[in-house]
Structure 1
């Protein structure tokens, strides 16, 4: 089973000394948990300057897939940060921009045109903003991360209405919650993620081994869906 963590932070944290503060420490953590690859944002991009953090992302390490943090508009990130394909992260609450304002929608449409998917934290945008973004830019793939079990009703509302929305498993920890989402919407719409080191990584990894789903569905959740999204092929 090839395991890809779509939701991981590389770099130091403001209040904690973490193993994943550099690429070597991150790779050691992935090995410890049996995770083959991770999509990583840099902590500096989340908590300080997106351009500086994006520039600090690894380039040559094929197990660490760089995920730039983008900010729309003339005061946003450099246009060269917008990739073709792959993943980016939008943080409207943290970086104080309107997700569905004119600049936000322009960026979203550009990402959709480039077949680039978006990681979007549940705490970073309101239900109304997510709903509007998905409706205004239906070609955009949105991966909602860190949703939590208390958000299942709102999550179901969004996933029923918008087939382009996916969810990660980082905090989808309610009893059989992952199984319910996978059976209702398809395992391809559920992606393994941990949110580490902000949230625990061992719990979601252990949960992955115990999912009450067919092996093919577990493989999709573990890494197949992420690899398809990233255009990485089947993997090992």
Structure 2
């Protein structure tokens, strides 16, 4: 690595106070201070209200929280359209685009649906049609469901985070059989798992994310910057791959 720090864009951040863990107040001010502390330039941000309480209300609140914050881009939480909380599938996707949302997140285990099931299919079709990437943690679904979803929606870009420990065999099988699944760095805790994945599948299948504030952002930063990867690989994982998934030019750090 050279002395210059690579640009880091965090794909995995939440605002808001967590009801069961002491991870701070979850304010924009706290988030920006934490980003500055560990050297993160920008972040794709969701709302804990959307995750743990009411996705529709949390998604709307998020836009207000991020107004005037050029370093922070909104990520909405999706629901199946079966109960109508978020309107129609097409309406949800169109509203996300109009609001400047850059990605959609799913919590199928906690919100009570199957990621690859018929209930979520219409919303995922709509999200795919507007070219928004889908973020999901490994603990919220199964790798079989991720693979089935990737196969059924070949244009849907899927980033699986929170992969934890001892998942490399499952990850490898899915990455080998799909082209549209990437792995997030938050809690990628297998020893030298980052280097192994980059060596086997290329750095282009890995996306920087910290899981903040639920996880300490320094963990993912250290994992990437102190890795044995080449500078170009670190740059791609740190920002370039997410820029490509979001199909936009990131602002300078």
TM-score interval, normalised by the smaller of the two chains: over 0.9
SS in 1 for 2:40: coil
Residue 120, structure 1, aligned to residue 136, structure 2: yes
Tell me, which stretches of 5 or more residues in structure 1 are unaligned? none
Of residues 105, 109, 115, the one that matches 1:93 is 109
The within-5 A match list for 1:1-236 is 1-19=6-24, 21-57=26-62, 58-75=66-83, 76-79=85-88, 80-82=91-93, 83-84=96-97, 86-236=102-252
Tell me, which stretches of 5 or more residues in structure 2 are unaligned? 1-5
* Most deviating of 201-210 and 115-124: 201-210
Per the normalisation by structure 1, the TM-score is 0.94
Distance in 2, Cα, partners of 1:148 & 1:56: 30
Count of residues in correspondence between the two structures: 236
Per the normalisation by structure 2, the TM-score is 0.88
Structure 1, residues 38-90: CA drift from partner, whole Å, max 9, x if none?
11110011100001111121233111111000101231424444234721101
SS in 1 for 2:229: coil
1:210: Cα distance to partner?
1.1
